[in-house]
Structure 1
Amino acid sequence: MKLTVFGATGGVGQEIVRQALRAGHQVTAVVRDPARLEVTGPGLDVVRADLTDEETVRPAVAGRDAVLSGLGARSRKDAGIATRLTRTVLGAMETEGVRRLLVVSAAPLGPAPEQDGPLDRAVRGVVSAVFKDIYADLRAMEEEIARSATDWTVVRPPRLQDRPVTGKYRVVVGGSPAKGRSLGRADVAHAMLAMTGDPATVKQGVGIAY
């Protein structure tokens, strides 16, 4: 497949690029600073683009089979960036007629599993309060995506870790795994690539966790 990856220098984004190349896909990595992209290899095209300008983004998505995004705030002071930058990506995709979109959001935006106990619910409440600005940004991003003409999937992992890819995690379409407390960034990337061709995940929020 021909894939475009936004947020390609982030933890999840670099893993998407790395694993996609390993699987033989053609990858366009859209970055602000090419020097920060540690992945190289045949089939990779690195594009520097201003993600506040739809016109500069359009060539990066034109003719692609799917777009995968790891865009998001790195800290609370960056809250708002996910919505703003994703809005640009959506505009470029709709102009170019590219439909498949997968983005990273966060577990607290999905429904709480009924099986979760008091401790899990308490932790979820604390995390949501501490990162309320970031989650408000992600919620606004999800709402814009849901209103778009794309065939979208919103992937909602819990606390992210730097761990090797395992390919062993739980997936709940339209919900959240019970007691799902962590997931490696490499496995988030693995899940997103697996969902790219899965029609059951189109226009769905998908919870993933170990």
Structure 2
Amino acid sequence: MKIAVYGATGMVGSQIVAEAARRGHEVTAISRKGAPVEGAAVVRSADLADLDAYREVAAASDAVVLATSPDRTGGPREPYIEAHRAVAGVPTQARIYMVGGFGGLRTPDGTQIKDTSGFPPEYKGESDAAWAAYEALRDSGLDVTGQAPAAVIAPGERTGRYTTAVGVPAAGDSISSQDYAVALLDELEEPRFRGTFFTAAN
């Protein structure tokens, strides 16, 4: 499978590249600086807002993984949302796979976690932007899957074991970035959650 990963140098993106390469897939690693990523067959410098580059990438790929994040330094998050809205308007046969946020999942009463009173306010803007980006992709008519992490995601151990759920938190409070990538590649290889917003947890 030919897989392109935007945000390939990040904590999650780099693990996705590594896991895909480990399974024998051909990976194009895309980042703003075009930095080398272990396991990538091709390294490319591009921003998601560069639609000409995105069209080329999508046309040459079986799946495009969007592992970028909204601004976390206090800057505007609208460019992140607009980039996803623009991507949503590009026709492609590639499967679009978005690394989403835990805040987009829902509580038993249907409230999104990002909108609950106990959600950390410092993460609210980031979660709102991530969900708006996912909505744009989801409503595009393209083949889109979103995968949220557990409440906590951090580098750790690759166990290959995880639980899943659609739209609501899975059993487990955390997941390693390695096992997040395992769940993502499992889904790309043997789809069970196509067209959904699902999550995986250790």
Other structure's SS at 2:118 match: helix
Q: Is the 8 A contact 1:54 1:91 kept in 2?
A: no
Aligned to 1:87: 85
> Alpha carbons of 1:28 and 1:38: their partners in 2 closer, same or farther (altered >3 Å)?
closer
Do 2:11 and 2:177's aligned partners in 1 also have CA atoms closer than 8 Å? yes
Change (3 A) 1:159 1:57: same
Shift of 1:113: 5.0
What are the residue-to-residue correspondences of 1:183-202 with 2, within 5 Å?
183-202=175-194
Task: Determine whether 1:59 maps to 2:51.
Answer: no
Partner of 1:117: none
Structure 2 residue 199 is the aligned partner of structure 1 residue 207: yes
Alignment-derived partner of residue 165 in structure 2 = 172
Contact 1:153 1:205 survives alignment (8 Å): yes
Looking at structure 2, the residues matched to 60 and 99 of structure 1 have their Cα atoms a distance apart, in angstroms, of: 10
Q: Could you tell me how far 1:17 is from its partner in structure 2?
A: 0.7
State how far apart, in whole Å, the 1-side matches of 2:137 and 2:126 are. 17
Pair 143,133 (structure 1): closer, same or farther in 2 beyond 3 Å: same
Question: Which whole-Å CA distance do the structure 1 matches of 2:94 and 2:39 have between them?
Answer: 27
Q: Distance in 1 between matches of 2:152 and 2:78?
A: 20
TM-score for the superposition, normalised by structure 2: 0.86
> In structure 2, what is the Cα distance between the partners aligned to 1:193 and 1:144?
23
Does the 8 Å CA contact 2:101/2:131 hold for their aligned counterparts?
A: no
C-alpha distance 99-19 of structure 1, shift in aligned 2 (>3 A): same
1:142-157 to 2 correspondences below 5 Å: 142-157=134-149
Name 1:4's counterpart in structure 2.
4
- Match for 2:74 among 53, 77, 89? 77
- Structure 1 Cα separation of the partners of residues 136 and 85 of structure 2: 7
The question of 1:100 aligning with 2:95 is answered yes
Q: CA RMSD in A?
A: 2.2
- CA contact under 8 A between 1:99 and 1:149: conserved in structure 2? no
Contact 2:8-2:14 within 8 A present in 1 as well = yes
CA shift, 1:128, in A, is 4.3
Call closer, same or farther: CA 1:106–1:194 in 2, change over 3 Å: same
Distance 1:81 1:187, change over 3 A: farther
Q: 1:134 aligns with which of 126, 129, 151?
A: 126
Aligned 8 A contact 1:82 1:141 in 2? yes
Alpha-carbon displacement from aligned partner over 1:176-203 (angstroms, at most 9, x marks no partner): 214x321111111111111113443111
Q: Match of 1:126, SS?
A: coil
Decide whether aligned partners of structure 1 residues 153 and 39 sit closer, same or farther in structure 2, where only a CA change above 3 A counts: same
Structure (1/2) with the larger helix percentage: 1
Task: Report the TM-score when normalising by structure 1.
Answer: 0.83
For residue 31 of structure 1, report the CA deviation from its aligned partner.
1.3
Q: Aligned residues: percent identity?
A: 29
1:176 maps to amino acid: P
Residues 88 and 182 from structure 1, CA distance in 2 versus in 1: closer, same or farther, beyond 3 angstroms?
A: same
Q: CA deviation at 1:205?
A: 0.9
| 1:127 match: secondary structure | coil
Equivalenced residue count is 195
